């Protein structure tokens, strides 16, 4: 039995695995987005440049991902609110975005 490891995507390859997992979750859920890159089979957008991309790995395979962005960095209207924006995906295809609270 493998141990699950929680971490942060630190390499371009780890980030790419996360973007591919998001793509799989979007496609499985039947979601449409102009951020779907069918050629690369990835979902990524401009927030990924400032986001922390969290990972859950089973061995060397990333099975879940979530990104977080401090609200003031992502959305001018959230400055000073302490909001955090997150989007997550897992290998079952489930995707659960959460809005700032």
pTM of the model: 0.68
**Band (95; pLDDT cuts 50, 70, 90):** very low
**DSSP 8-class letter at 91:** T
Please classify residue 58 by burial: count the beta carbons closer than 10 Å to its beta carbon, then call 0-12 exposed, 13-18 middle and 19+ buried. middle
For the sheet with 61-70, list strands across it.
4-8, 52-58, 61-70, 84-90
pLDDT single digits (tens) 2-59: 789 999 999 999 999 999 998 888 777 777 777 777 788 888 888 888 889 999 999 8
- CA atoms of 86 and 26, how far apart (whole Å): 15
């Amino acid at each position: 039995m493998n141990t699950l490891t929680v971490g942060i995507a630190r390499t371009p390859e780890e980030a790419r695995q996360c973007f591919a997992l998001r793509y799989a979750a979007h496609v499985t859920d039947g979601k449409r987005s102009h951020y779907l890159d069918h050629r690369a089979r990835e979902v990524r957008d401009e927030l990924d440049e400032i986001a922390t991309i969290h990972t859950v790995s089973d061995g060397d395979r990333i099975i879940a991902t979530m990104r977080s962005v401090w609200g003031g960095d992502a959305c001018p209207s959230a400055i000073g609110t302490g909001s955090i924006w997150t989007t997550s995906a897992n290998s079952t295809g489930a995707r659960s975005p959460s809005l700032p609270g």
